[in-house]
Homo-oligomer: A and B are copies of this chain.
Amino acid sequence: MLHSMAGTTRYASVLKECEAWWEQEGRAITDAVDRAQTPWVRMFDAEGKRVDEILYSPDYWRMLKRGYRAGVLWRAFKDQSLLPSFLLIYLTSFYDCGLTCPYTVSLSTALPLSKYASPAIRERFLPKLLREDDSVWQGATWMTEIKGGSDLGANVETVATPQADLWRLTGDKYFASNAGAEVAVAAARPKGAPGGVRGLALFLIPRWREDGALNYTIRRLKDKIATRSVPTGEIELRDSEAYLLGTADEGIYLILEVLNVSRIANSLGSVALAQRAIADALNFAESRIAFGRPILDHPMLRAQFEERVRDLRAAFALAWHAGLLLNEVWQERRPYSDRYHLFRLLAHLAKYWTAEFAVQTAKWCMEVHGGLGVLAEFRVERWLREAMILAIWEGTAHRQLLDALEVIDRKKAHGTLLQYLGPVSTAEVREMVEAVDAQLKLPPDERERTWEPIGARLAKVTADALLRKMPAS
């Protein structure tokens, strides 16, 4: 699928080079990073100075920088298009979907920095993120605190206090992806701001203070079951220097814009992961013999392969169209267009559906491998671990389904969807939309209680329809 996308684009040769590198060098590196488990943090140097260096093997840094050099970040700004980023994220996720987190959060940092920062701040930081060589800076997006990430309005307790021309932030971020980044965006509540999501603002936080001291500390890295190519940590902000992005009262909109990018990246990553699991299962099933023939030739297993390949293509179509829509609307500011709300609906459906598909496919890939599937030695168990993280971060299935329901309810985005599908729409789609309309008429609790199967079906039917919009490959 990637090849069919890339073939029509100007990025074909970049992608081909990257793929060759992964096949020759990257595969062994990502295996080693996953096996080494959580990296460690050197907190102090020998002289007792707090340094908080994150220690991966040297190979890791080569692998990470490979994607930045290829343009996962700078091309978006040079070409004014998110598509090269999406293509590189998709390619990378086939090999290491955790590694795309640094890329994604760097992009999610660069975007609001370019759109909402003061010119001085933009000039100071943005060019460092867009470097085309290994001196590139990384970004990070830190929202969630200890009480949970779904309800930011209640749970962000980090306080921002204005001081001269900057702000001081104090609080703890509990799931901080890409801990150690040179610059991060973070949600905080200005002193005196109201409670709830309306009182949140978005800030830019550099790693080092203006006087060169560490501006935040890493309490520890999380011992995660997968995505070990991204250091996820707990961050302590203590009077940390920060710069306001946009205005203090529109933070929640900026936060949601940040999440737009990561939901698309997560969807593409999920599809790539499922593709990888199918590819590994296929390799195995072609060479494993039972009852006198390769197990791929066993009728039930072959039927399973065929169904999964078909679903994979539909899942890609869903994620890719969500990405195309984001590429249309990412420069919008409030008030947003209907196209923006259509994007939001597709993004929720895609995040939900592709992650679910990745989990089920990874599980099935393990089963195809039989006993070998549960051994660390054969590595396919890794895909399920990775998929579970894709299903959870950026919002669980539960969250995506409810957020989709909300944008349907408030913005009638399902109507816009029907128009968008246009000629590829089917009777099935139209019935779905009617079912959704019926759902909206229920009392709120009941509406939520019975929504899951309908939302799931909406995602599936939409994906199938969008597959028909894809160029033949």
In the complex, are the beta carbons of B397 and A367 less than 8 A apart? yes
What is the distance, in angstroms, from A402's C-beta to the closest C-beta of chain B? Answer: 7
CB distance from A326 to the nearest CB of B (A): 24
Choose from B47, B149, B302, B445 the contact partner of A370 (Cβ within 8 Å). B149
Select A151's contact among B291, B377, B392, B445, beta carbons within 8 Å. B291
Instruction: Bin chain A's interface residue count.
Output: 35 or more
Task: Report the bound CA distance from A43 to B146 in whole Å.
Answer: 11
Stretch at the interface among A205-213, A253-261, A449-457: A449-457
A154-B291, A381-B225 given; A371·B149 CB < 8 A? yes
Bound together, the chains give a CA A295 to CA B222 distance in angstroms of 24
State the CA gap A220–B42 with chains docked (Å).
Answer: 12
Tell me whether A175 and B371 are in contact in the complex, defined as CB-CB below 8 angstroms, given that A154-B292, A292-B154, A366-B392 are known contacts.
yes
Establish whether residues B370 and A299, one from each chain, have CB atoms under 8 Å apart when the complex forms. no
Min Cβ gap A358→B in Å is: 12
Which of B29, B144, B288, B401 is the one whose CB lies under 8 Å from A47? B288
Provide the bound-state CA to CA distance between A29 and B288, in Å: 37
Could you list which residues of chain A lie within 8 angstroms of chain B, going by C-beta atoms? 25, 28-29, 32, 36, 42-44, 46-48, 57-59, 144, 146-151, 154, 174-175, 219-220, 222-226, 283-284, 287-292, 298-304, 359, 363, 366-367, 369-378, 381, 384, 388-389, 391-393, 396-398, 401-402, 445-446, 448-452
Question: Is A224's CB under 8 angstroms from B147's CB?
Answer: no
Check A388/B374 contact, CB under 8 A, given A29-B57, A289-B147, A300-B451: yes
Cα of A44 to Cα of B302 in the assembled complex, Å:
26
Q: Which residues of B contact A220 (CB under 8 A)?
A: 43, 220
Residues in B whose Cβ lies below 8 Å from that of A225: 374-376, 381
Copies of this protein in the assembly total 4
Q: Specify which of B36, B290, B393 is in contact with A154 (CB 8 Å cutoff).
A: B290
How far is it, in angstroms, between the C-alpha of A451 and the C-alpha of B303 when the chains are bound?
A: 10
Residue of B at shortest CB range from A378?
Answer: B46
Q: Which residue of B lies closest to A450 (CB)?
A: B303
Give 10 A-B contacts (CB < 8 Å), ordered by A residue. Answer: A36-B36, A46-B287, A57-B57, A149-B370, A226-B374, A300-B448, A300-B452, A303-B449, A366-B388, A384-B384
Which of chain B's residues has its CB closest to A376's CB? Answer: B223
Measured between C-beta atoms, what is the minimum distance from A285 to chain B in Å? 11
Question: A449 is contacted by which of B146, B154, B302, B363 (Cβ under 8 Å)?
Answer: B302
A452, closest chain B residue (CB): B300
Q: Does A58 lie within 8 Å of B43, measured CB to CB?
A: no
Further pairs besides A44-B377, A300-B448: 5, Cβ < 8 Å? A46-B378, A154-B290, A222-B375, A222-B377, A224-B376
